[in-house]
Every structure is written in structure tokens, then in C-alpha cells.
Amino acid sequence: MLAKPAVQFSEFKSNNWEHEVLSDASQDAPAAERSVNTSRRYFLIGATSVAAGVGVVGAAIPFVKYWNPSAKAKAAGAPVTVDISKLAVGEMLTVAWRGKPIFILRRDSQTVAALEENQLDLADPNSDLPQQPEYAKNLTRSTRPEIGLYLGICTHLGCSPKLVEADNFEDGQGGFFCPCHGSKFDLAGRVGSGYPAPTNLEVPPYRYDSDTVITIGLEGAA
């Protein structure tokens, strides 16, 4: 703890530190002693100012740190890169993005033709509702007809639909079936009419970095 200064200040009456008024006892002190006391006074003022500045900086560091996103928060929304070179025709790959499943489906030419020709009984066959990016607003709901990407969450109450091969719709086309409440979607993620799910499966933003590499969470050219 710092010792109490020997110099006693009277009431401060000036904005100029050189004109501060010392007590009578200090005025009577020898000139050399007054010089030492004045130097000590300036030292204490400077030390107090530095300590206050350090305190402000120390208080600001946790505040700034609080506003910086953590590594976990960054990872939660970070893009995901997927290699689909080994994804065979008729197979589906499920990956996680933002903690949610993303279905990546490779369709054969017959399936693509059926999606383009047969509208079945769909609630939103032309994808008029904004459940996909503009570049996926087509009959296959994808940039490449044979590859479809869909958020694997039913738009009714959030269950995860299952891929079925032939018994989803009456013509045996196949699609996605939600086991929770029976909603059915075709292989473009479009929901059938009259089912609990109100809208088509959502299409996430994505782009192709190459013929076999997809980045989910980014759009535009690589």
C-alpha cells in the first residue's frame, strides 16, 4: 500500500495544477523539501492515471471477447464440403450442416424423366413457395437434374423423412416418407396434396466446386 503523501492539499480553486494551494505547513517548509513534495505529488498523480487506464483496458478485454463468436458458433454455420464421387445412382448420402441432416440424392435418368413429365398430385409442383434458392426453382429442384439436395426435415413437425424406393406414390416412383404423420414427398422433395406437411422440403444453398465436390452453405461459382 502506498504511504499517505506528506503534502496536504487545501481546496482546489484553479484549473492550473501549477497554482494549487498548499497548506500553511507546506508553505513554511524549506524550498528543497517543497520541491521533493511537488515531485512526489506529480508522481502519485501519474501513477494513479496509469492504474486507472490499465483498469479500463482490463475491463474492456472481457467485453470485446464476449462479442467475438466462439469457434463452436463459427462451426455451427460454417459451409460443409462434400465429395460425391462415390455416390452411386439410386443412393442417398446424408451429411450434417448447421446441426441438421442434408439429403444428397443421385437420381437415374428414368427418375429425372418422371419428375419432369409426371406432376402426380402435388401441393406445389412448380415450387412457387420460397423453399429453395432461385437456381433450384425447377421441376427437379436442383442445378444438375441427377443430383438433388434437400434438408432432411419434414415441414410439418420436424421429423426426418425416410427414402423409399417404390411405394411412396401410386405410380411407384418412390420418394420420401415421413413416419411420424405420414407425409409423402417425391424424389424432388415436393410434398403430395392432402398431407400434413404444408410445403416442399427445403433446398439448402449450395454450389459445385468441381464435378464431384459440393459446398453446402455457399452459393455462386467457386
The Cα–Cα gap between 154 and 131 comes to: 12
Residue 156 among the catalytic residues: no
H/E element, 94: strand 92-97
What lies within 8 Å, CB to CB, of 20 at 6+ separation is 9, 12, 14
Which amino acid is residue 116, in one-letter code? Answer: E
List the catalytic residue out of 78, 91, 96, 181: 181
Q: Looking at the DSSP assignment, which residues form a beta bridge with residue 185?
A: 176, 191
Sort residue 10 into left (φ over 0), alpha (ψ -120 to 50) or beta.
Answer: beta
Task: Write the DSSP string, 96-144.
Answer: EETTEEEEEEEPPHHHHHHHHH---SBSSTT--SSSS-GGG-SSS-SSB
Q: Look up residue 55 and give its three cell numbers.
A: 483498469
Three-class SS state of 150: strand
Number of helices (H), then strands (E), belonging to the chain: the values are 4, 9
Please calculate the CA angle 121-125-129 and round it to the nearest 5 degrees.
Answer: 130
Q: Which residues are catalytic?
A: 181
